[in-house]
């Protein structure tokens, strides 16, 4: 929030200070100007409290719900100066969170009827990890690890330094017994190595649906499976039909659908 205030307000909102009396009050509505999934409203109160703004928020809709254009998400009442000064910062947070949630819901809806569940990734805009993960969850996705500290993923760049996969996996499980352990596989040989080491979650990276089916036959239910890499809304069902357990994509957090929100004075 401090960074958002610094880049937008800097040394002060010169326009508002020059136009709006110090004691003026106003009421304004956060309006959805397109259909969207609501996400991010619980962030408003702590953000407002952080900057000591004299604004009260009255929420009108349920977090995670789909709303139509023209819906008032919340009502802001209080200091006109504070509302006008912090309007853009609050809206920008909602743009990101509602956009991610809306895109995620599209993917989740496309997976209806399939076994696969949608997962997010660590590919998020810098500084917006918590907002992005929260919004993806509100959209219906499962959260992957939050960062490098709360889950183990042995990726291709790690594998080059691992001489004995089984020993490394055993050591990681001993030192971090409560963390998930994922092994990224690019080839069938990688899959065999991971299974021999007792890995129980395999990330099958950049495989076509046809190759993925072969991989799943090889795994034979011995580990949970995750397809990732280049999967779009258009190809989602092709991957889901393979029977994979999870599908992860960075699109929902890095390239979400744009949503239109505005602040309309009452």
Over residues 89-95, mean pLDDT: 94
Report the percent of the chain where pLDDT is more than 90.
94
pLDDT score, position 5: 82
Q: What is the pLDDT of residues 111-146, one digit of tens each?
A: 999 999 999 999 999 989 999 999 999 999 999 999
Residue pLDDT, tens place only, 154-169:
999 999 999 999 999 9
Catalytically annotated residue among 13, 120, 205, 226: 205
- Architecture, CATH, for domain 109-254: Alpha-Beta Barrel (3.20)
pLDDT averaged over the chain? Answer: 96
Q: Which of 33, 45, 155, 266 does the annotation list as catalytic?
A: 155
* Lowest mean pLDDT segment, chosen from 1-5, 11-15, 111-115, 224-228: 1-5
b/e per residue 65-97 (b: at least 16 CB within 10 A): eebeeebbbbebebbbbbbbbbbebbeebbbbb
Query: Is 105 known to be catalytic?
Result: no
Residues of the chain with CATH 3.90.1170.20: 2-102+257-265
pTM exceeding the 0.75 threshold for the entire prediction: yes
Where exactly does CATH 3.20.20.70 map onto the chain? Answer: 109-254
At residue 187, the pLDDT reads 97
184 is catalytic: yes
Q: pLDDT tens for residues 218-263?
A: 999 999 999 999 999 999 999 999 999 999 999 999 999 889 999 9
Q: Which of 255, 209, 252, 213 is nearest to 118 (CA)?
A: 252
Q: Is 88 a catalytic residue?
A: yes
Q: What is the pLDDT of residue 237?
A: 96
Catalytic residue among 8, 63, 88, 159: 88
Q: Which fold has domain 2-102+257-265?
A: Aldehyde Oxidoreductase; domain 3 (3.90.1170)
Neighbour count for residue 40 (Cβ, 10 Å): 24
DSSP string, 150-202: S-EEE-HHHHTT-S-HHHHHHHHHHHSTTS-EEEEESSHHHHHHHHHTT--EE
Residues counted in the chain = 266
pLDDT for 29 beyond 90 = yes
Region 200-208: mean pLDDT is 97
* Contacting residues for 43 by C-beta, under 8 A, at least 6 apart: 93, 97, 131
pLDDT score at 223:
97
Q: Per-residue pLDDT for 1 more than 80? A: no
């Amino acid at each position: 929030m401090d960074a958002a205030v610094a880049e937008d307000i800097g040394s002060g909102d010169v326009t508002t200070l020059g136009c709006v009396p110090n004691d003026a009050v106003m009421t304004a509505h956060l309006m959805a100007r397109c259909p969207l999934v609501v996400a991010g409203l619980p962030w408003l109160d702590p953000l407002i409290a952080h900057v000591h703004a004299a604004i009260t928020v009255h929420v009108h809709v349920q977090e995670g719900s789909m709303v139509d254009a023209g819906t008032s998400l919340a009502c802001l009442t209080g200091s006109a100066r504070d509302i006008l000064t912090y309007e853009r910062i609050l809206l920008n947070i909602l743009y990101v969170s509602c956009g991610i949630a809306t895109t995620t819901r599209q993917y989740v809806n496309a997976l209806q009827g399939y076994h696969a569940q949608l997962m997010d990734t660590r590919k998020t805009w810098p500084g917006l990890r918590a907002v992005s993960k929260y919004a993806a969850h509100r959209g219906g996705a499962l959260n992957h690890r939050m960062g490098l500290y709360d889950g183990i993923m042995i990726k291709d760049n790690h594998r080059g330094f691992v001489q004995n996969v089984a020993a490394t996996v055993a050591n990681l499980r001993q030192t971090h017994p409560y963390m998930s352990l994922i092994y990224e596989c690019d080839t069938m040989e990688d899959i065999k190595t991971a299974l021999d080491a007792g890995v129980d979650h395999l990330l099958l990276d950049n495989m076509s649906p046809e190759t993925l089916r072969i991989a799943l036959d090889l795994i034979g239910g011995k580990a949970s499976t995750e397809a990732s890499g280049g999967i779009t809304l258009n190809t989602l069902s092709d991957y889901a039909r393979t029977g994979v357990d999870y599908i992860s994509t960075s699109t929902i957090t890095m390239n979400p659908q744009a949503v239109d929100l505005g602040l309309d004075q009452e």
